[in-house]
Amino acid sequence: MQNVLAIFKKEFKAYFLSPIAYVFITVYLVVTNFLFFQGFFIINQADMRGYFGLLPWVFLFFVPAITMRIWAEEKKVKTLELLLTWPVSDLEVVIGKFLASFCFLGITILLSITVPITIALLGNPDEGAIIGGYIGSLLMGAAYLSIGLWVSSLTENQIVAFIIGVVVTFALFMIGNPFVTMVAPAGAVPLLTYLGLGNHFESVGRGVIDSRDIVYYLSVIGFFLFLNIRSIESRKWE
Amino acid sequence: MNGSNGSVMMDVRQLNKRFGDVHAVRDLTFQVKKGEVFGFLGPNGAGKTTTMRIVTCYIPASSGTISVGGHDTVEHSLDVRKKIGYLPENNPLYNDMMVTEYLKFAGELRGMQGDKLSSRIDEMVQVCGLAKMTGREIGKLSKGYRQRVGLAQAMLHDPDLLILDEPTSGLDPNQIIEIRELIKKIGREKTVIYCSHILSEVSATCTRILIINNGSPVATGTAEELTSQMGSGNQYVLRVRGSGPDIEAKLQGVAGVSSVSASQDNEWASVRVACEGNEDIGESLFRCVVDNRWSLAELKRERASLEEVFTQLTRG
Ligand SMILES: Nc1ncnc2c1ncn2[C@@H]1O[C@H](COP(=O)(O)OP(=O)(O)O)[C@@H](O)[C@H]1O
Ligand SMILES: [Mg+2]
């Protein structure tokens, strides 16, 4: 546990050692606020469905940017050899890094609190739906993060990690999208729909949290963190 | 325990490592005893780094076993890693961290905490001469200081076995001498494996040397044993009154000198000078001594040279 905490602290601090973190958070807030409020006054409804509806797309680019550095840099600077010859298990390192990126994303998401406050000033929103939406966003974000983290462990180039991260996340998003399920064999449609990253967020976006969606996100997280451990171990394969 | 009769710290048996077609380590068997400063010497590509990566559990062997302090590197990887302090080749560091912050991080991962960790960090900062650098960002330090940070990290938890892979590479001659002195100091109490492709580095600091070439062992023994085993060449032995590092630095500048190593004995330094080729440079050495106004008690030429032994053993 001390190991996980030490890695978590180091990685979390690392985000704020460069100005990029602040630029990142600012851009995230400006982009999501702009896209949301642009439509908000047209639709004229006091809820955040429109805001949460943006997130699967916005995360597609923002989350791989959070994770791209986390392993790639260790590989490039060769600190991986230092880290993995200290008495820590691969699992502890992966969990520590994941939690750090999760907290960074969490802070970014929660800083959008100005949005529900603004809405509350203008109308009478359903608070339960908004809280549910935030929890769902964190879950979905964590799933995206686990993908980005794994991809970062495959390369020593951050930019490559970013691009592949976007592509892999997009692919997992699209397999459940009507674009794909329309042309897929009928038998595969339920499976594809279930696997699609986006399909578990619609009800969440309305503030309805279904345990099946939670199980789905936790499975995705577990699966990609497992792949991450395997890819760290892969240096040992002949 | 100390010296060559001590118990075994590390036991390597029939070690092999293949990377595809490259057979990087071949049937390597050797032991490192407690208290030794063990020189692991070989030209670039000989397999030193690969061997150390296997010892530190970073990569597995293709075949063979290693135990460190009685623990097998595969079965008890965490126990082995706890016992080892490691300065990897090229000294990778987290460049965006501060020196103290980095040492704290490394210490926490070593299971150290609180006051014990802080006082240990202070101690390492003193030993490694980092006092003025504690608040600096590692990425902005000079190479010499980075090396000290790497050493401080490796020694932080007072490891049973300290592994240094080319600890002086990329340093200028003065920094090399400083780091070498530091390692000598550490070596009085610790078991150290010192990897290098430079003979003079190893012969100046190590109690015993293993020379490998193309992944196989070619010779082992003390510097004297290796020298008497074979080869002949040109070496000078001097006894000069003055400080060892200073004398080393000055003599290094004499034309024809390939390496200098000095050991201090009160105010007198015993200096061993190896030279390139077979030229007689006795007079130049004498002039250097006179120019620096040092007292000279002895200047003699010795025939056998470890440098030549090394070259012969690792040729081709
Ligand atoms: N990861 C690797 N993949 C393929 N070949 C490698 C790898 N690491 C080392 N080698 C090869 O193994 C040999 C030994 O290298 P190394 O252990 O680094 O030697 P040294 O440290 O003695 O200079 C070299 O031929 C090197 O090219
Ligand atoms: Mg090497």
What is chain A's alpha carbon radius of gyration, rounded to the nearest angstrom?
A: 19
What's domain B8-221's superfamily in CATH? P-loop containing nucleotide triphosphate hydrolases (3.40.50.300)
Compute, in angstroms, the gap from residue B44 CA to the centroid of ligand 1: 9
The reported pTM is 0.83
Domain ranges, ordered by start, for chain B: 8-221, 232-304
pLDDT at residue A205, rounded to an integer? 65
Number of alpha carbons in the 13 Å side-chain half-sphere of residue B106? 30
Indicate the top mutation candidate among B21, B25, B49 to test ligand 1's pocket, ranked by most ligand atoms within 8 A of CB. B49
Task: State yes or no: pLDDT of B142 exceeds 90.
Answer: yes
pLDDT at residue B248, rounded to an integer? 87
CA A97 to chain centre: 13
Q: Across-strand partners of B45?
A: none
pLDDT at residue B231, rounded to an integer? 46
Average pLDDT over residues B128-148: 93
Other C-beta atoms closer than 10 Å to the C-beta of B206 total 24
Q: Which residues of A touch B97 (CB under 8 A)?
A: 10, 14, 17
Largest CA distance in chain A: 63
Q: Which residues of B touch A81 (CB under 8 A)?
A: 53, 58, 88, 92
| Contact: A236, B56; criterion CB under 8 Å | no
State in words which class domain B232-304 has. Answer: alpha beta
pLDDT at residue B304, rounded to an integer? 56
Task: State yes or no: pLDDT of B233 exceeds 60.
Answer: no
Indicate the top mutation candidate among B17, B18, B22 to test ligand 1's pocket, ranked by most ligand atoms within 8 A of CB. B22
pLDDT at residue A207, rounded to an integer? 67
Task: State yes or no: pLDDT of B314 exceeds 80.
Answer: no
Do residues A190 and A175 lie in contact, with contact meaning Cβ atoms separated by under 8 Å?
A: no
All residues at 6 or more sequence positions from B195 whose CB lies less than 8 Å from its CB, including other chains: B40, B41, B48, B49, B52, B89, B163, B164, B165, B166
- The position carrying tokens 């009085």 is B188
Average pLDDT over residues B272-284: 78
Ligand 1 in reach of B44 Cβ (< 6 A): yes
Task: State yes or no: pLDDT of B1 exceeds 60.
Answer: no
For the ranges A144-148, B42-46, B294-298, the lowest mean pLDDT is seen at B294-298
pLDDT at residue B274, rounded to an integer? 81
CA distance B59 to chain A (A): 5
| Contact: B81, A85; criterion CB under 8 Å | yes
Computed over every residue of chain B, the mean pLDDT equals 89
CA nearest to A111, candidates A24, A10, A16, A218: A24
- Which H or E element spans position A44? none
Q: Across-strand partners of B216?
A: B213
Q: How far apart are CA A45 and CA B243, in angstroms?
A: 84
Other C-beta atoms closer than 10 Å to the C-beta of B270 total 17
Compute, in angstroms, the gap from residue B51 CA to the centroid of ligand 2: 9
pLDDT at residue B3, rounded to an integer? 41
pLDDT in tens, B2-38: 444 469 999 999 999 999 999 999 999 999 999 999 9
* Two domains, one topology: B8-221 and B232-304: no
pLDDT at residue B278, rounded to an integer? 60
- The position carrying tokens 């706890």 is B82
- Residue type at A183? V
Chain B residue whose CA is closest to A9: B105
Helix ranges (DSSP H) in B13-169: 48-55, 77-83, 99-109, 114-127, 143-155
Average pLDDT over residues B243-269: 84
Task: State yes or no: pLDDT of B163 exceeds 70.
Answer: yes
**Average pLDDT of each block of 10 consecutive residues along chain A (238 residues)?**
94 90 91 86 77 90 95 96 96 98 96 90 86 91 97 96 96 86 84 84 74 91 97 85
pLDDT at residue B15, rounded to an integer? 97
Which residue lies with its CA nearest to atom 16 of ligand 1? B47
Ligand 1 in reach of B19 Cβ (< 6 A): yes
pLDDT in tens, B53-95: 999 999 999 999 999 999 999 999 999 999 999 999 999 999 9
- Mean pLDDT is highest, among B114-123, B226-235, B269-278, for B114-123
